[in-house]
Amino acid sequence: MSEVVLEAVSKVYPGGQRAVAELSLTVPDGEFLVLLGPSGCGKSTTLRMVAGLEEVTGGTIWLDGRPANELTPRERNVAMVFQNGALYPHRSVRGNIGFPLQMAKADPAESAERVTEMARALGLEQMLDRLPGTLSGGQRQRVAMGRAIIREPSLFLMDEPLSNLDAALRNDLRLEIGGLVRGLGVTTLYVTHDQVEALTLADRIAVMNEGFLEDVGTPTQIYENPATAFVAAFLGAPPINLLSATVEAVAGEGVKLHLGRQRLVLPWTDPRAQYLASHHADEVVVGIRSDALRPTGDPHLGAVLSGHLRTLEFHGHEWLAHIDAGVTVVDPATVSRRREPEPVGAVPRPAGMAGRALSLLRGGAGRRVPAERPAPHVGAHRRAELLTRLHSRDGYTPGMDVHLAVDLDRVLVFGKDGRRVDPVSR
Ligand code: ADP
């Protein structure tokens, strides 16, 4: 059992490549934590530093309350499973799984029993005498897991263990890994770039981007309440709609978010409006997941975005609709974030502190933002269409007008630095 604490851990490779930037993270005993992010964001480097395979450039790694920077991998009692699950080719399944016990000079009779038990748990008992070369990719990966687990490590580190497998096998093994590791109750750090793996396996997900920690939270928190635009865009399919908007705080009404020719209004009773007021006349990024949009027949009732149905993509169980709504879509890769570490969940200055916002709240005139004013650009833009799901094609044809009711409670607003305008609590 082990608690892992990363305290402002950094890694700069020889040659100057910064892979990890002041990463601070606590993984409590028994937690299954997934490190998620695009290729090259520093996930493997982080895992290798925890394993003791890579030196730490700055900061401290604590294992069960002890500083571990100087400990050898063996002293850390961690087990690691890699992408290719490298096995000893000339040892049988039995020999591979039992290898760590043999190295530890465990009692042979007891070892044999434990190997058989482990093989049974992993569905490998029929192939104990086979060599790795005769196994499928999924079976080999299971052997690698068995070999790692049988040591009863205090910490389990997995680096993309499923990424070399085909989709069906990946789904099966994902379930098995989840069950097995949870059953053991061993603290686990699991690296993946696959959001589905992260959402389905994790107790908590830590999302990394260019060496920085973007966000950390439960799968639900990360999906519904992401700290940054990057995280919002990294999770979910179809991708979240990120739209460029201009903020107008209007006394007596609320905060208007001008999205091209359309607008959404957050009343002053909405806590987000208070924070948005300090962004009056600024450009922000509004995030709306496709599942927060629902077709409606009444374009004048509540919060509605309207447009022309441009294309319908058939996805089997649903249609993905591309709707030309005269909005400006923002590419999440180009929404800048502050490039210095900052604790996730840091509370931004509330709008009420800002003088101009206060005057608006008190009923002052405020500066009006002409709706037609072309929005200054935040980031580059990919497509100018809203994406939403339609469960049935009935009645929809490309070219027709569509009205989408917006679930205002689920609308996310990000500032120019890509961080949420309203505070994110974890
Ligand atoms: P991920 O696991 O998220 O794909 P990595 O931790 O492997 O990312 O890499 C993070 C960054 O560090 C990348 O830019 C990568 O090119 C660089 N990097 C990784 N290993 C080395 C190395 N041994 N020497 C120099 N740069 C490296």
Query: What residue ranges do the domains of the chain occupy?
Result: 4-227, 230-414
CB 311 within 8 A of CB 384: no
Tell me which residue has its CA closest to atom 25 in ligand 1: 13
- Ligand 1 contacts CB of residue 40 (under 6 A): yes
- Cα 51 to ligand 1 centre (Å): 16
What 3-state DSSP class applies to 208? strand
Does the beta carbon of 136 sit less than 6 angstroms from any atom of ligand 1?
no
15 CA distance to ligand 1 middle (Å): 12
Counting ligand 1 atoms within 8 A of each CB, the residue from 45, 55, 214 with the most, and so the one to mutate, is: 45
Give, in order, the Cα–Cα distances in Å from 285 to each of 159, 215, 330, 394, 411: 33, 18, 7, 33, 10
Question: What region does 123 belong to: left with phi over 0, alpha with psi -120 to 50, or beta?
Answer: left
Which pLDDT tens digits describe the chain residue by residue (426 residues)?
689 999 999 999 999 999 999 999 999 999 999 999 999 999 999 999 999 999 999 999 999 999 999 999 989 989 888 877 789 999 999 999 999 999 989 999 999 999 999 998 888 999 999 999 999 888 898 899 899 889 888 899 999 988 878 888 888 888 888 888 888 889 999 999 999 999 999 999 999 999 999 999 999 999 999 999 999 999 998 999 999 999 999 999 999 999 998 999 999 999 999 999 999 999 999 999 999 999 998 888 889 999 999 999 888 888 899 999 999 999 887 776 545 544 454 444 333 333 333 333 333 333 333 333 333 334 444 456 899 998 765 678 899 999 999 999 999 999 988 999 998 988
Structure tokens at 28: 């409590």
Q: Which residue has the tokens 């599942």?
A: 291
Q: Which is the closest atom of ligand 1 to the Cα of 45?
A: 6
Give me the CATH code for the 4-227 domain, please.
Answer: 3.40.50.300
Terminal alpha carbon distance of the chain:
24
Residue 246 near ligand 1, beta carbon < 6 Å: no
Which pTM does this prediction carry? 0.86
